[in-house]
């Protein structure tokens, strides 16, 4: 083999090794992003959730302290277990494997505040991926929100499978894009779409159908049994 060919072969060999190394690094990054961040987030969310429930048990009746969270979201169709809900939708908060309620650009109405739109966001992939299966929600499916004293039972009535990440109208107190024209007690779930990207937003809307008082055993409503 000539010296020139030997050099070319050497360059190709080095380039091939670099590609293999890059592939390994990329593979490890994907594993970290889609698996290990879920593991860490689940641990943190469980710890925070337990802390809030302990606070519920020790707080005097009638007192309301929301610094550790406001309750738990239960969505059977998403098979995501109970999801702690706290204030804010910034990535640092949602990375703990929770859902957050909006404080801007349009402030969320909390369930006990009466008419308005209880607007929530959570990750679809990585960091707990609590809304990963949002596409499985269908009209009539239950969305249940649990507070210390009350179960709020909503039913899905519409969805928007893809919209701009800048479309804030989906968060309006009267979500007209969902077909509603009058004040009511609504819930809106938002997350990224398509899966594994953050190019657009996937929206699901629900409407409150009833509330139930929490009993001493915290017996869940029929939708969760």
Whether 25 is covered by a domain: the verdict is no
Instruction: Say if residues 187 and 208 touch (Cβ distance below 8 Å).
Output: yes
Whether 173 is covered by a domain: the verdict is yes
Q: Which CATH number does the domain housing residue 104 bear?
A: 2.40.260.10
pLDDT tens, residue by residue, 67-116: 789 999 999 999 999 999 999 999 888 999 999 999 999 999 999 999 99
Average pLDDT of span 159-164: 98
**172 flagged as catalytic:** no
Higher pLDDT residue, 214 or 25?
A: 214
**Counting beta carbons within 10 angstroms of the beta carbon of residue 217, is it exposed (0 to 12), middle (13 to 18) or buried (19 or more)?**
exposed
Average pLDDT of span 202-224: 97
Cα four-point dihedral sign 180, 225, 190, 192: negative
Residue 121 has pLDDT above 80, yes or no: yes
Q: Is the pTM of this model over 0.75?
A: yes
- Dihedral angle at the C-alpha atoms of 32, 191, 223, 215, nearest 10 degrees? 80
For residue 10, what pLDDT band results from cuts at 50, 70 and 90? low
Strand ranges (E), 45-184: 71-74, 82-87, 99-101, 116-121, 142-146, 150-164
Nearest Cα to 225, choosing from 158, 147, 117, 144? 144
Whether 194 is covered by a domain: the verdict is yes
**In the chain, how many domains are there?**
1
Query: What domain range includes position 172?
Result: 47-224
Q: What is the pLDDT of residue 35?
A: 72
Residue 174 has pLDDT above 80, yes or no: yes
Whether 98 is covered by a domain: the verdict is yes
Residue 38 has pLDDT above 80, yes or no: yes
Whether 10 is covered by a domain: the verdict is no
Cα four-point dihedral sign 185, 189, 190, 193: negative
**Which candidate in 192, 203, 204, 208 is catalytic?**
192
Residue 9 has pLDDT above 70, yes or no: no
Give me the half-sphere count of Cα atoms (radius 13 Å) on the Cβ side of residue 38: 14
Nearest Cα to 152, choosing from 120, 197, 111? 111
Q: What is the pLDDT of residue 124?
A: 95
Characterize the bridge pairing of strands 150-164 and 142-146: antiparallel
Whether 27 is covered by a domain: the verdict is no
Could you give the C-alpha distances from 202 to 20, 82, 94, 124, in angstroms and in order? 36, 20, 16, 10
Q: What is the pLDDT of residue 3?
A: 59
Whether 168 is covered by a domain: the verdict is yes
Matching residue, tokens 């309006």: 172
Q: What is the pLDDT of residue 6?
A: 58
């Amino acid at each position: 083999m000539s010296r020139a060919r030997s050099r070319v072969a050497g360059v190709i060999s080095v380039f091939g090794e670099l590609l293999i190394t890059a592939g390994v690094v990329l593979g490890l990054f994907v594993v970290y992003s889609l698996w290990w961040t879920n593991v860490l987030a689940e641990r943190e969310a469980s710890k925070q959730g337990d802390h809030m429930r302990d606070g519920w048990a020790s707080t005097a009746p009638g007192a309301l302290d929301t610094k550790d969270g406001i309750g738990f979201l239960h969505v059977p169709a998403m098979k995501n277990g109970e999801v702690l809900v706290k204030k804010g939708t910034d990535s640092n908060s949602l990375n703990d494997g929770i859902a957050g309620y909006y404080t801007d650009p349009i402030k969320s109405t909390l369930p006990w505040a009466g008419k308005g739109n209880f607007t929530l966001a959570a990750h679809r992939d990585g960091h707990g991926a609590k809304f990963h299966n949002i596409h499985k929600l269908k009209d009539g499916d239950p969305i249940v929100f649990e507070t210390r004293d009350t179960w709020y039972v909503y039913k899905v009535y519409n969805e928007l499978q893809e919209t701009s990440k800048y479309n804030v109208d989906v968060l309006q107190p009267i979500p007209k894009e969902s077909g509603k024209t009058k004040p009511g007690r609504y819930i809106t779930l938002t997350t990224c779409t398509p899966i594994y990207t953050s190019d657009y937003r996937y929206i699901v809307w629900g409407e409150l159908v009833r509330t139930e008082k929490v009993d001493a055993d915290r017996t869940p409503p029929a939708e969760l049994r």
